[in-house]
Amino acid sequence: MKKLLVLPIIALAFAACETDVTDKVRTDAYNSASAVSISGAITDVDTMGAYVDLRLSNPYLDNGAFTGIEGATVTLFDSDSTLGNLTEVSNGRYENLDFLSTPGHSYRVEVVVPSTYGEASGTWESTLDRCNEPFTLIAPLFPILEGDSVYYDFRVDDTVNYQDADSAFYSPYQFFNDPAGEGNAYWVKSYSTTKVYAPNGLMGPFEPQETEISLASSINIYNDEQFIEGPQIGRLNFIGPPYTVYRDTLINFVFETRTISMDLFDYLTIMTNNVNSGGLFAVPYSPQIGNIRRQDDTTVFGLGYFYATSVRFDSVTMFHPF
């Protein structure tokens, strides 16, 4: 795909062309002020509903935890129609399970921060974010054996048939129809768990073990910029490289896919570039502007992003073919 980005949980990696982000970062990053951070979403999952995490950031060079903003009023809108308020369920966390997104609709929030928070007090808002239509799954996820049934094993300096080997390389695939037209983007998180597992590599253990281990998870985003009018898509490249599946090993994968707007896609792309730009002595990046701003002065930006999404979950189990 034209734009593919992989965000592992432990380390981020991305390479892309340089982008001018002059108007997308806060240039007052190094002063001692804190900023309001509003992050959340409205989903179409009844156990998630709509949620917002409301925080007051620390000064830029302070690595401490953000302070949750309590006692705020968080109101959700479907375009200009008021849906209602979210309820504070914990420090800085606001939720309402009754509000569910509808594809094709655009949503925003208004947040009134109490006067006790000084300069951060007042009314903040997000700009409208559209809930895109989800893709149509043609067939369930299924595993594909990578390569031929014969491969070269450098450890024995010879070709080996998979039926004679302790491991095989598998990738999960799925077929789906991307919605018509360009502008569809996706956020995908993989949850990889297994009960019988032997890690790849020469460090061992070399025998499968009963375990509750969770394999490395990853978050990926991509868009359909190279596609035309929603064609059938074969392999999802974001699923990653082939996984080593050992004999007597089951690897269970769950993929959570969220539709995202192109505005959020661009926001996440710039964020990843910021995080991964330069080396040890690179200039620290500035906090990124999302879609949060003051209502009475839209030139004053907060941090975070509130978005609308349609969510789906798919799973697959991979095992040695012989």
Q: What angle do CA 273, 6, 146 make, to 5 degrees?
A: 150
pLDDT greater than 60 at residue 48? yes
pLDDT in the model for residue 24? 59
Collapsing DSSP states into helix, strand and coil, what is residue 162?
A: helix
Split at pLDDT 50, 70, 90, the class of 203 is low
Longest dimension (CA), the chain: 73
Whose CA is closest to 263, among 238, 286, 285, 289? 289
Whose CA is closest to 37, among 20, 52, 18? 52
Mean pLDDT of 46-70: 83
User: Over pLDDT 70: what percentage of the chain?
Assistant: 60
136-259+313-319 adopts what CATH topology? Immunoglobulin-like (2.60.40)
- For 291-307, the pLDDT digits (tens) are 999 999 988 889 899 99
pLDDT greater than 60 at residue 120? yes
CA 38 – CA 123 distance, rounded (Å): 12
Max mean pLDDT among 166-170, 191-195, 290-294 falls in 290-294
**Domain residue spans in the chain?**
23-131+283-308, 136-259+313-319
pLDDT in the model for residue 169? 67
Backbone angles phi, psi at 44, to 5 degrees: -105, 20
pLDDT in the model for residue 148? 53
pLDDT in the model for residue 176? 79
pLDDT in the model for residue 223? 82
Where is pLDDT greater, at 62 or 165? 62
CA 162 – CA 177 distance, rounded (Å): 33
pLDDT in the model for residue 252? 78
pLDDT greater than 90 at residue 85? yes
pLDDT greater than 90 at residue 5? no
CA 178 – CA 236 distance, rounded (Å): 11
Task: Write down the pTM of the prediction.
Answer: 0.77
Whose CA is closest to 37, among 150, 124, 157? 124
pLDDT greater than 50 at residue 35? yes
Let me know how many helices (H) and strands (E) the chain has, helices first.
1, 23
242: preceding bond cis by omega (within 30 degrees): no
Split at pLDDT 50, 70, 90, the class of 215 is low
- For 217-228, the pLDDT digits (tens) are 778 888 877 555
Element (H, E) at 209: strand 209-210
pLDDT greater than 70 at residue 20? no
Whose CA is closest to 250, among 319, 315, 184? 319
CA 1 – CA 236 distance, rounded (Å): 9
Find out whether 288 and 245 touch, Cβ atoms under 8 Å: no
